[in-house]
Amino acid sequence: MTGILHPSSAQNWLSSQGSSSGLIVKRTIRVDIPVDKYPNYNFVGRLLGPRGNSLKRVEASTECRVLIRGRGSIKDPAREDMMRGKPGYEHLNEPLHILVEGELPVEIVDARLMQAREILEDLLKPVDESQDYYKKQQLRELAMLNGTFREEGSPMSGSVSPFNNSLGMKRAKTRG
């Protein structure tokens, strides 16, 4: 009899997982991007971050899906023009905006959507580049991803090659 899970004990285990009613709902909110007020600001780059990681972090922390939609949401303008009017790309006729989708238990979906909205609205406030801590963090992350990161004040030169460091390591000789 050991090792066999009775349906009643499985049901008790499942129902003891939080106080959720089990009702999952899908809700979507729209956050407009102020491109009309700041036409030269790179909102899409700021939202996405290096390799999309900034947007992925917003999604992970809120458990919501974040979609950048509207004119300017496709990087290549020629491709955007080509896709405009096709099924699934109707959003390209609208101004640039964000859709936040939450498919969560009814008790928490609104709170998570509001949390995502607050994070995104904060990111959509243009900041002078010299004061933009968030962008500095993104550039630092990109350098780390690319393997070109250098600590400030590092004795290393512009190269991050392991053969050009202060330990005196040299490249192995190869026959040419």
Q: 70-129: per-residue pLDDT in tens?
A: 999 998 999 999 999 999 999 999 999 999 999 999 999 999 999 999 999 999 988 877
Percent of residues, the chain, with pLDDT higher than 70: 74
Q: How far is CA 37 from CA 15, 33, 125, in A?
A: 50, 9, 11
Say which DSSP state 102 is in: E
Distance CA 79, CA 56 (A): 24
Evaluated on CA atoms 113, 114, 118, 124, the torsion sign reads positive
DSSP 172: P
Rounded CA separation 67/125 (Å)? 18
pTM of this structure: 0.67
Query: How far is Cα 135 from Cα 138, in angstroms, rounded to an integer?
Result: 5
